[in-house]
């Protein structure tokens, strides 16, 4: 858990730099609420206090990084309580939850508070007198491409594309979005750290990202690199889908899981009315994780096929 926190520090710093004090307050609120909720739940269940394992800190930090800066803090509190109480402790605590608590809480908040959850601060908003909020690149792409499929480039489309963030902006995080999803370089740095520390393996993030890119490349419409570098794909592939408890245990299972996450994510983006699909894709694959483990797990010696 400490390694995950360390790996999240670059994208946390990038989010604070681009979105300012609102990001700080959201992160602090989520982490503090998760810690308090965990302590109260363990006390109410008359079980050992588990604050020291840092899992509540990770849940709070991941939830905050998947929220827009400037979200009303009472909503962040409610989402954090939902993540720990409903998504984790009701099932018995760490290691027993079937769904990623931070993602489940984000989905709950998106359904419950659609407006605030889809209102985005402009990066470096304090430096400009213009409007503070704007649309994300994913939402702009959805409006531009309809179902993200365009058979022929037009001057209107080319002009709109010119207003999208440049590749360098997408890499460093100079674009609207959730606090921790905007900087692809910071997220990649954290993922490399986790792989080098052998906290995670390469299978899920690489297969997830490759599936998104290939789908975007062959389906047409928005450029494939924009599908990978905008929205929640990077943070989802590197930090959410790789959660030990809710992802498969075998290498083949991780490949299947990563492919499923990428495919479902792109199907939601491509065919659905909502421009983002990463959170729901991972939650759907979380539900299939026990079956994937059963299909790909090693057979006990001497057992019949």
Q: Where are the domains of the chain?
A: 2-117, 130-296
C-alpha atoms less than 13 angstroms from C-alpha of 160 in its C-beta half-sphere = 17
What per-residue confidence (pLDDT) applies to 287? 95
Q: What is the CA radius of gyration of the chain?
A: 19
pLDDT (0 to 100) of residue 305? 60
Phi, psi of 22 (to 5 degrees): -55, -35
Residue 175: the pLDDT is 87
CB atoms within 10 A of CB 226: 20
Number of other CB atoms surrounding residue 166 within 10 Å: 11
Please tell me the predicted confidence (pLDDT) of residue 62: 96
How far is CA 24 from each of CA 83, 173, 223, rounded to the nearest angstrom? 20, 17, 32
Provide the 8-state DSSP code for 127.
G
**Cβ contact 253:77 at 8 Å:** no
Residue with tokens 């905050």: 64
Token look-up 């792989």 returns 195
Positions in the chain whose pLDDT score sits under 70? 125-135, 137, 139-163, 220-221, 303-305
* Residue (of 280, 161, 180, 272) closest to 226 by Cα position: 161
| pLDDT score recorded for residue 173 | 87
Output phi, psi for 146, to 5 deg: 70, -100
The pLDDT value recorded for residue 163 is 60
Describe the crossing of helices 21-44 and 55-65 by its angle, rounded to 10 degrees: 140
H or E, element range at 120: strand 120-121
Residue 177 DSSP code: S
């Amino acid at each position: 858990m400490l390694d995950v926190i360390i790996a999240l520090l670059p994208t946390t710093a990038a989010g604070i730099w681009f979105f300012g004090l609102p990001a700080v307050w959201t992160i602090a609120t989520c982490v503090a609420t998760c810690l308090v909720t965990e302590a109260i739940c363990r006390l109410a269940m008359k079980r050992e206090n588990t604050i020291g394992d840092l899992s509540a800190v990770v849940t709070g930090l991941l939830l905050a990084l998947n929220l827009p800066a400037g979200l009303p803090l009472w909503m962040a509190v409610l989402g954090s309580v939902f993540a720990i109480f409903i998504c984790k402790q009701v099932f018995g605590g760490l290691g027993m939850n079937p769904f990623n608590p931070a993602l489940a809480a984000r989905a709950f908040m998106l359904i419950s508070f659609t407006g605030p959850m889809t209102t985005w601060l402009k990066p470096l908003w304090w430096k400009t007198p213009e409007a503070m909020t704007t649309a994300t690149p994913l939402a702009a792409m959805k409006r531009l491409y309809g179902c993200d499929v365009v058979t022929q480039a037009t001057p209107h489309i080319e002009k709109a594309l010119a207003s999208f963030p440049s590749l360098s902006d997408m890499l460093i995080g100079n674009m609207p979005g959730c606090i921790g999803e905007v900087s692809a370089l910071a997220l990649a740095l954290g993922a490399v750290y986790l792989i080098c520390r052998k906290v995670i393996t390469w299978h899920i993030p690489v297969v997830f990202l490759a599936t998104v890119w290939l789908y975007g490349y062959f389906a047409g419409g928005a450029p494939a690199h924009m599908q990978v570098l905008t929205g929640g794909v990077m943070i989802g592939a590197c930090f959410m889908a790789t959660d030990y408890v809710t992802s498969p245990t075998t290498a083949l299972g991780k490949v299947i899981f990563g492919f499923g996450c990428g495919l479902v994510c792109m199907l939601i983006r491509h065919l659905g009315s909502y421009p983002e699909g990463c959170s729901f894709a991972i939650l759907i694959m979380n539900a299939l994780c026990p079956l994937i483990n059963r299909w790909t797990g090693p057979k006990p010696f001497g057992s019949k096929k």
